[in-house]
Amino acid sequence: MKTDRLWKAVRQRQIIFARVLRKRCDGRHLNKDSSCAHFYFFFKTFLDFGKGCGYVVSREAIARVLALFPYFPILDIEDAFLTGVLGRGAGLQYFSVAHSNYFAEFFHHITDWCNFLQDKLITGTGVGTHIKRLNLWASYIANDWQCHNQDLSDSPSCWIEFPRVAE
């Protein structure tokens, strides 16, 4: 989880930090890349609710994300919505302590990008994975989901307008 590095780095403004870990111990050995100080994380292993995606977000960054929240239809994938749509709309920088080039790791290869939501997968949002992002949004648009540009507080943004489902 590299918690000590995250806590030091969160002092920077307009940055979202993240690292995906599953079933890992906290790595108390200081020579390990994943080590963290006991002061920041005093358990021997990560708790169940602490496994998976984790975020450290500065106050300024979260304030900007929250300000945009009412203006966007909610995607049911937290990474795609909070850090993808809202984060990009707020003009935030992305940083992964582990890889420093993308926000969330992409562990699966899928052929139909529209299944992204149904399969509850995580897609990368950095420079090295820009094609995956483009494919995801292109699939939405190709399926008659309209993408609109809207000016929200200096940040031109794009969101998905979901088709209405008959109840």
Quick check: 21 pLDDT over 80?
A: no
**Segment 86-130, tens digit of pLDDT:** 878 888 766 544 443 343 434 344 444 444 444 444 433 333 455
Domain membership flag for residue 166: no
Number of Cβ within a 10 Å radius of residue 10: 16
Beta bridge partners of 147: 160
**Segment 35-78, tens digit of pLDDT:** 455 565 566 555 555 555 556 667 777 788 888 888 877 776 66
Strand 93-96 with 15-21, pairing: parallel
- Average pLDDT score, the chain: 53
Domain membership flag for residue 132: yes
Domain membership flag for residue 167: no
Rounded Cα distance between 141 and 130, Å, is 17
**Segment 142-159, tens digit of pLDDT:** 555 444 333 333 322 333
Q: Helices marked H in 100-148 — which ranges?
A: 115-119, 130-142
Task: Kindly give, in sequence order, each residue whose CB lies less than 8 Å from that of residue 88, ignoring residues fewer than 6 positions away.
Answer: 125, 157
Domain membership flag for residue 116: yes
Rounded Cα distance between 141 and 34, Å, is 39
> Is 0.85 topped by the overall pTM?
no
**Domain count within the chain:** 1
The whole domain housing 107 covers 3-161
Domain membership flag for residue 21: yes
